[in-house]
């Protein structure tokens, strides 16, 4: 079955997508004019009294598409003069969107990813939501303050809010409780302020959870289930490392920070040296999420988006989620600030109807559908902390870890250079994952290439 596009596949596709920067650099404004918003913005056109069809563009697997359809159906029931058609690209979503914008026939509303939205915002693809929200006093006064502030800040570029947060996709540590019980080891903590869960304890636990039959490992303590470079970044956050000088529009790449290097080496050593985790050859045989789901690995790092898969009755997983271990340079557990959101395309012919939909999906009603589905982690605090969300996670003992992560999250580098930087970042690290280079060597090669891409983005070349 096709896996989610909202996070894992998008990151994987950007890492090896050399043509992405080319398309981003040469996307043309919509036919008939510039990519700038029409004078007056969304409020400049009166709402249509006749039927309007909105085209909504998003990445999704079948489960996500089903949940979104529930939102669409509820919206159209309340707004019968607005119909919705959907478009789910089969390849890289940002690339597909840029092609449509260049062709002059973009959708009205689009799904946005935190690492990629700035380049689209700078090219005028997205509408500035500030004036639209200001004109909607109810939304501005009651809904906007209810979002996690970190997510609103994440989607604010050059002082303008371009995207409304829709789901929190920060990663956590999933673990198999039965395997922990069988090994007689303590579960990982669920408190982000807990300082007792260290790298040493994690490694000792992983060894106890790893089982062998002769030379063959039949059960792994840990498996990679995301994108190794970013998984390693999470561990570097937990070691006090900084891989950029700042995380909003960074100017300097610092992946050779000793604390980052230490974390990347420690992570690669889990399979190359300690043999407690699946290695690159095994990733090709069975994806890490399936290793965890089929009870071949006791722990994995991934976000809420895999909860629906892991909680399927076919697997009968007795699982829970916890926080990450702290490295020698760390203070308290940390995770990434991740998520997706929804934006209005500047070239839409139906700005008022587009806002009506956006405020519904990224409002209490749409977020409640998201919460009760168990598919996404909501970004409205009142919904995320409600029984609608917490009560929909029967397979977990501590679903609140998804919410408390927001107070312990560090952003990835938000800026227009990510696509260009991700290619050398992923490519140079292959040697580390395969045991053919040290972290110092691999990151030493990646840093200047990433810095060049960052400098070119800042210079506009």
Structural domain includes residue 129: yes
Contact between 293 and 315 under an 8 Å Cβ cutoff? The reply is yes
Contact between 412 and 226 under an 8 Å Cβ cutoff? The reply is no
Which positions of the chain have pLDDT values less than 50?
Answer: 1-49
Structural domain includes residue 145: yes
For residue 337, give the H/E element and its range: strand 335-337
Domain total of the chain: 2
> What is the structure's pLDDT at 48?
47
> Residue 244 pairs with which residues in a beta bridge?
253
Structural domain includes residue 254: yes
Alpha-carbon dihedral angle through residues 66, 72, 77, 82, given to the nearest 10 degrees: -150
Phi/psi of residue 411, nearest 5 degrees:
-70, 155
Contact between 197 and 325 under an 8 Å Cβ cutoff? The reply is yes
Q: Are 19 and 84 members of one domain?
A: yes
Contact between 288 and 222 under an 8 Å Cβ cutoff? The reply is no
Q: Are 305 and 446 members of one domain?
A: yes
DSSP category for residue 141 = I
Q: Are 50 and 125 members of one domain?
A: yes
> What is the structure's pLDDT at 50?
66
CA distance 227 to 217: 23
DSSP category for residue 36 = S
> What is the structure's pLDDT at 29?
29
> What is the structure's pLDDT at 2?
34
Q: Per-residue pLDDT tens for 266-290?
A: 999 999 999 999 999 999 999 999 9
> What is the structure's pLDDT at 422?
96
β 171-176/299-303 pair status: antiparallel
**Cα 43 off chain centre by:** 32
Structural domain includes residue 159: yes
Q: CB-based contacts of 115: which residues, under 8 Å, 6+ apart?
A: 11, 14, 412, 413, 414, 418
Q: Are 100 and 128 members of one domain?
A: yes
Q: Is 111 helix (H, G, I), strand (E, B) or coil?
A: strand
Q: Are 320 and 224 members of one domain?
A: yes
> What is the structure's pLDDT at 45?
41
Q: Nearest to residue 119, comparing CAs of 259, 17, 226? A: 17
CATH code (residue 290): 3.40.190.10
Domain span including residue 67: 8-169+338-384
**Cα 104 off chain centre by:** 28
Q: Per-residue pLDDT tens for 333-374?
A: 999 999 999 999 999 999 999 999 999 999 999 999 999 988
Q: Are 122 and 71 members of one domain?
A: yes
Q: Are 78 and 183 members of one domain?
A: no
Average pLDDT of the chain to the nearest whole number: 89
Q: How many helices (H) and strands (E) does the chain have?
A: 22, 15
Q: How many residues does the chain have?
A: 461
Q: Nearest to residue 347, comparing CAs of 124, 159, 99, 86? A: 124
Q: Are 12 and 148 members of one domain?
A: yes
């Amino acid at each position: 079955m096709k896996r989610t596009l909202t996070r894992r596949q998008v990151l994987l596709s950007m890492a090896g997508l050399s043509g992405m920067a080319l398309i981003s650099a040469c996307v043309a404004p919509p036919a008939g004019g510039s990519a700038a918003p029409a004078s007056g913005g969304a409020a400049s056109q009166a709402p249509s009294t006749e039927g309007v069809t909105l085209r909504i563009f998003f990445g999704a697997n079948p489960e996500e598409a089903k949940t979104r359809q529930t939102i669409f159906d509820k919206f159209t029931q309340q707004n019968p003069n607005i119909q919705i058609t959907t478009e789910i690209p089969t390849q890289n979503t940002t690339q597909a969107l840029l092609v449509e914008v260049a062709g002059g026939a973009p959708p009205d509303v689009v799904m946005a990813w935190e690492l990629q939205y700035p380049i689209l915002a700078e090219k005028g693809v997205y509408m500035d939501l500030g004036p639209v929200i200001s004109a909607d006093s109810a939304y501005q006064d009651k809904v906007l303050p209810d979002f996690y502030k970190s997510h609103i800040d994440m989607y604010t570029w050059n002082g303008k809010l371009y995207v409304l947060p829709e789901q929190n996709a920060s990663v956590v540590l999933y673990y198999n409780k039965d395997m922990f019980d069988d090994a007689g080891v303590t579960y990982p903590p669920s408190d982000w302020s807990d300082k007792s869960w260290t790298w040493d304890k994690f490694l000792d636990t992983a060894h106890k959870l790893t089982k062998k039959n002769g030379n063959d490992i039949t059960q792994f303590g840990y498996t990679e289930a995301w994108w190794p470079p970013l998984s390693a970044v999470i561990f570097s956050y937990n070691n006090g490392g900084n891989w950029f000088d700042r995380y909003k529009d960074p100017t300097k790449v610092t992946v050779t920070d000793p604390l980052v290097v230490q974390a990347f080496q420690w992570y690669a050593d889990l399979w190359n040296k300690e043999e407690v985790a699946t290695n690159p050859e095994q990733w090709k045989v069975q994806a890490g999420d399936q290793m965890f789901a089929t009870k071949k690995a006791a722990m994995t790092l991934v976000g809420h988006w895999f909860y629906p898969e892991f909680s399927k009755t076919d697997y009968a997983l007795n699982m829970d989620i916890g926080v990450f271990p702290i490295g020698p340079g760390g203070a308290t557990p940390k995770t990434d600030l991740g998520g997706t959101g929804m934006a209005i395309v500047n070239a839409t012919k139906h700005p008022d109807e587009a806002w009506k939909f956006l405020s519904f999906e990224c409002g209490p009603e749409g977020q409640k559908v998201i919460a009760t589905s168990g598919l996404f982690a909501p970004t409205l605090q009142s919904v995320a902390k409600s029984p609608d969300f917490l009560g929909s996670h029967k397979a977990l003992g501590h679903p609140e870890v998804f919410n408390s992560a927001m107070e312990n999250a560090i952003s990835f580098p938000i800026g227009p250079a990510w696509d260009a930087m991700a290619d050398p970042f992923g490519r140079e690290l292959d040697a580390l994952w395969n045991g053919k280079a040290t972290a110092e060597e691999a990151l030493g090669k990646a840093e200047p290439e990433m810095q060049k891409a960052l400098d070119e983005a800042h210079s506009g070349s």
